[in-house]
Amino acid sequence: MKDFKKNAFLIITGAVCGAVNGFFGGGGGMIVVPMLCKLLKYETKVAHATALAIILPVSIVSGITYIINKQFDFSIGISVTIGALIGGIAGALLLKKLSAKWVAKIFAVVMLIAGGKLLLF
């Protein structure tokens, strides 16, 4: 029964992540990481790496949906994708080098800044 509850919770978390990512065009990791760390007690680095792997297919599906609905600007999308690929590699390498404590602190600061910006601008 314990595995069933855990799997059900993970499916619900995934559904919320997908909805957030599809609605906002990103941000699903802000749902997945806290859920994996705080509620399911995954190690911080594992939670972040898992969230990244989860977000890839979700982002692809969301992106295809935006393209089909003609809500995607290829001139912006291609340039940002190149930058995101470079940043993604750099971030993954940095994640490997930092302690879990620093990863959690940086994540919290980024979430606070993003939340503050959304509230104020």
* HSE, side-chain direction, 13 A CA sphere, residue 52: 14
Token pair recorded at residue 75: 């001139």
Query: What are 96-115's pLDDT values in tens digits?
Result: 899 999 998 998 998 899 88
pTM of the model: 0.67
Token pair recorded at residue 21: 């990512």
What share of the chain has pLDDT > 90, as a percent? 25
2-6: average pLDDT: 86
Alpha helices in 37-99 (DSSP H): 44-68, 74-97
pLDDT of residue 21: 77
pLDDT of residue 106: 92
Query: What are 10-53's pLDDT values in tens digits?
Result: 898 888 888 887 787 677 778 888 888 888 888 999 998 888 88
**3-state SS, residue 22:** helix
Q: Find the Cα–Cα–Cα–Cα dihedral 31, 33, 34, 37, rounded to 10°.
A: 150
Give the orientation angle of helix 44-68 with respect to helix 2-24, to 10 degrees: 50
